[in-house]
Amino acid sequence: MRYQSTRGAAPLLGFREATLTGLASDGGLYVPEQWPAFTRDEIAAFAGLSYVETAVRVMLPFVGPHLDEDALRTLCTTAYGRFAHAAVTPLVQLDDRNWLLELFHGPTLAFKDVALQLLGQLFERFLAGGSTQLTIVGATSGDTGSAAIDAVAGRIGVDIFMLHPKGRVSKVQRRQMTTVLAPNVHNIAIDGSFDDAQALVKAMFNDPRFAGRFQLSAVNSINWARLMAQVVYYFYAAVRLGAPDKPVAFSVPTGNFGDVFAGYVAAKMGLPVAKLIVATNINDILHRALSSGDYSTGTVTPTAAPSMDIQVSSNFERLLFDLAGAPIGDQMRGFEAARAMQLTNAQRDGAAGLFASNAVDADGMNEAMRWAYAEAGQVIDPHTAIGLAAARASGLDPATPIVTLATAHPAKFADAVERATGVRPTVPARVGDLHQREERYDTLPGTYQAVSSYIAERAIPRP
Ligand SMILES: *Cc1c(COP(=O)(O)O)cnc(C)c1O
């Protein structure tokens, strides 16, 4: 498999290089040159497979020739062996048609672990024995940071610099990052929003002087390997609910459009997906784009679902590219200049068949938390609640099961959950004494100069 940039002006890469690189040199994102597809019989044969075996089948077409089946199985076994549930991503039934897919049984309690535990394994394998020193630079709205840090802390050959918006992540989220004291981990709180942090990271990748000095790598969902790992659980869940004979809908709490793009890939690969419901909070650029073609940024409003407090959804570019069927460098540069654009008719029509969308406000979110608790005894987190609220409002045929992706453990957002339900969720024992441990991080102004020179002083340059 080879990977091409959504902007059409960067070299084609193999899986290894695409994984180690992240952002393409023309500012675009890497996508496979074509979508591998499974037949109905092949999908039917996924029934009864373990998570790891499903993962091997779904990902194998993407990783050749750099990994063979046995190597991939070894990496998946290690990565998913760290999950605290035998099913890795178990399904929980709420009522006749609503299901939760619990993606938070990994070490840092959010779905980001599903991809990042594997990415940590891939980095280690691809760097083994070489002299490359990777400099991972990332921005987090809360959950990517801790999952990425957990995946690479203490690993040889990797330094990680993680930017988070100061005061805009929950205390559990912050402490999960800042109490990891391994010398290769560097936490930076910046004055600004997640979008500001993400723009700084993109600017470093796009600055030839900076990017030329260090072997930069991305752990945000701009990294293709992350999305690839997330395709797996769409197959795993749908097959358990009757696919390929029965189509299944998914409701996905969305910020950067990564998780839901993985669902689109699953559909491209032949999984019968009835609908992908894009659930946003009041930071609703994706809902506006999908419902009216208006992709224009507003200012970010902080909410109780901070991992979705995003106005520029990086991975939407991958969808727009796929729907356009051609590189979209001009369209994206226009968007970056004007902070606004209209989808083309081809993009709007292409999205309309598979996607629905909804923006859920605080009342809708709180009501969904209360409903899940009253109806099924399930305490869910605010992000999951936004997905569930959108699922329940979707108006889809009642015979179609809807799987809401449960993206975080409720204990990560205990205050918001307690306010809505009266129940205070506790952090699982496997996370340990999070609130007692020493924290370490630096605070910087959200300027390119401040952040890039901080990193340049500490990262190890290319030989
Ligand atoms: C990251 C995150 C999201 C949004 O996922 P995207 O892939 O960015 O759309 C939703 N919920 C939680 C808990 C998250 O950590």
pLDDT digits (tens, 9 = 90+) for 67-78: 999 999 999 999
Quick one: pLDDT band at residue 253, thresholds 50, 70, 90? very high
Q: Is the CB of 195 under 6 A from ligand 1?
A: no
Q: Is the CB of 407 under 6 A from ligand 1?
A: yes
Flag whether pLDDT at 22 surpasses 80. Answer: no
Supply the pLDDT for residue 222.
86
Flag whether pLDDT at 23 surpasses 90. Answer: no
Prediction pTM value = 0.95
| Cα(235) to centroid(ligand 1), Å | 19
| Nearest CA residue ID for atom 8, ligand 1 | 256
Closest-lying ligand 1 atom to the alpha carbon of residue 141: 1
| Cα(221) to centroid(ligand 1), Å | 10
Q: Is the CB of 62 under 6 A from ligand 1?
A: no
Mean pLDDT, rounded, of the chain: 95
Supply the pLDDT for residue 246.
95
Closest-lying ligand 1 atom to the alpha carbon of residue 104: 13
**Pair of tokens at residue 334:** 């226009």
Q: Is the CB of 226 under 6 A from ligand 1?
A: no
User: pLDDT digits over 114-164, tens only?
Assistant: 999 999 999 999 988 888 889 999 999 889 999 999 999 998 889 999 999
Lowest mean pLDDT among 19-28, 186-195, 323-332, 451-460: 19-28
269 versus 298: the higher-pLDDT residue is: 269
Q: What average pLDDT score do residues 155-181 get?
A: 93
| Cα(455) to centroid(ligand 1), Å | 26
Supply the pLDDT for residue 278.
98
Closest-lying ligand 1 atom to the alpha carbon of residue 253: 10
Q: What average pLDDT score do residues 406-422 get?
A: 96
User: pLDDT digits over 426-455, tens only?
Assistant: 999 988 888 899 999 999 999 999 999 999
Q: Is the CB of 409 under 6 A from ligand 1?
A: no
275 in active site: no
Q: Is the CB of 383 under 6 A from ligand 1?
A: yes
Supply the pLDDT for residue 430.
86
Residues 55-87: b if buried by 16+ CB within 10 A, e if exposed: bbbbbbbbbeebbeeeebbebbeebbebbeeee
Domain spans of the chain, in order of start:
85-109+225-421
| Nearest CA residue ID for atom 1, ligand 1 | 307
Flag whether pLDDT at 224 surpasses 90. Answer: yes
Q: Is the CB of 255 under 6 A from ligand 1?
A: yes
**Dist CA 277 CA 275 (whole Å):** 6
Closest-lying ligand 1 atom to the alpha carbon of residue 310: 8
Query: Among the options 112, 202, 275, 412, which is catalytic?
Result: 112
**Residue to probe by mutation, ligand 1, list 29, 109, 111, most atoms within 8 Å of CB:** 111
CATH topology of domain 85-109+225-421: Rossmann fold (3.40.50)
